[in-house]
Structure 1
Amino acid sequence: MDSISPNVQTVYLVDDDREDQELFSEALELADSHVDLKIFDNGVDLMADLYSGRPLPDLVFLDLYMPLMNGEECLRDIRENEKFDKVPLIIYSTLLDRAKIEHLFSIGANRYLHKPSSFKSLVYALERTMNSVRRNKLGGTAIINIVG
């Protein structure tokens, strides 16, 4: 990562589904070419990286349902350490349960991105998300992004 230019953002995706990882990676590349993506299969590996002393990511996308440590557990653990307060956390899931989403915001999620049903929708959603994060950082109200 040392050779990455300063205008490139480091994005983490934490998702155990290989197909979802590949789709996300391809869509993100189309949505934003100024991104260095690092993928984790579970929350345990994510937490090890965050505590490794390496530079923190600019953005983390967390799937909710993963083995070893799920997305909600990661969210709680990350938000319990003020060292990670400025890292935007986006829940990236198929779940569409308003009460659960509100709960996730209450424990520290900055945004919620529903996994879209089409590749084109995913590219669009990632373009909007990346632009929003660059413009707003953590300010403003929580955002739910649901596209078809």
Structure 2
Amino acid sequence: MKYHYILLVDDDTDDAEIFSTAVKAVDDTINTVVENNALDALKKLKEAKKFPHIIFLDYYMPYLDGSEFLELLRSIKGLRDIPVVFYSGHSNDTLNELAAKHKTAGFLKKQGNLTDLIKSLQEILNSLLPALK
């Protein structure tokens, strides 16, 4: 199965734009949808007919932080099994701890440059989305 739909939940529009550019560089057939508000993202997910194949989630956001978002997401049948990857500027050690604590599919540190982000994103997508290999 080819994966075509990634959801990014991140309140920082600059980071979201860089992320979307990096996804296109990895595979231009992937559709990246960005939600800047975690509450709105959750509402749209509940109403969706088609779910994302993977969610990248900023940990610190207004209204709902990553922990709260995950708790609510996992309480909804049909949504609880979507792989979630934290996407944050925290240190790798902190992100690794948060990912383990919340049992996410992993983490992706926000990168200082696009080339590094593309490389890191490629690694994560290859491990989570075998169709991209």
Same fold (TM over 0.5): yes
The gaps in structure 2 that reach 5 residues or longer are none
How far does residue 70 in structure 1 lie from its aligned partner after superposition?
1.6
Residue type of the alignment partner of 1:14: V
Query: 3-state SS of the aligned residue for 2:78?
Result: helix
Which residue is equivalent to 2:29? 34
Matched ranges for 1:42-121 at <5 A:
42-96=37-91, 98=93, 101-121=96-116
How many angstroms apart in 1 are the aligned matches of 2:125 and 2:99?
20
Query: TM-score under structure 1 normalisation?
Result: 0.79
Question: How many residues are aligned here?
Answer: 131
Read off the aligned partner of 1:60 and give its amino acid letter. I
Partner AA of 1:77 in structure 2: L
Report SS of the residue matched to 2:118: helix
Runs of 4+ in 1 over 3 A off after TM superposition: 97-101
Amino acid at match of 2:76: N
1:17 aligns to what?
12
Look up the equivalent residue of 1:72 and give its one-letter code: S
1:12–1:61 Cα contact (<8 Å) kept: yes
Q: TM-score, normalised by structure 2?
A: 0.87
Q: Which residue of 2 aligns with 1:124?
A: 119
Cα RMSD after superposing both structures: 2.0
Unaligned runs of 5+ in 1: 1-5, 137-148
Deviations 1:26-69 (A, max 9, x none): 11100111211110002101101110042110010000111111
Write the distance in 2 (CA, Å) between the matches of 1:100 and 1:114.
8
Identity of aligned residues (%): 27
Alignment-mate amino acid for residue 13 of structure 1: L
- Residue of structure 2 equivalent to 1:145: none
CA–CA distance in structure 2, aligned partners of residues 135 and 115 of structure 1: 23
CA contact (8 A) 2:58 2:88 kept: yes
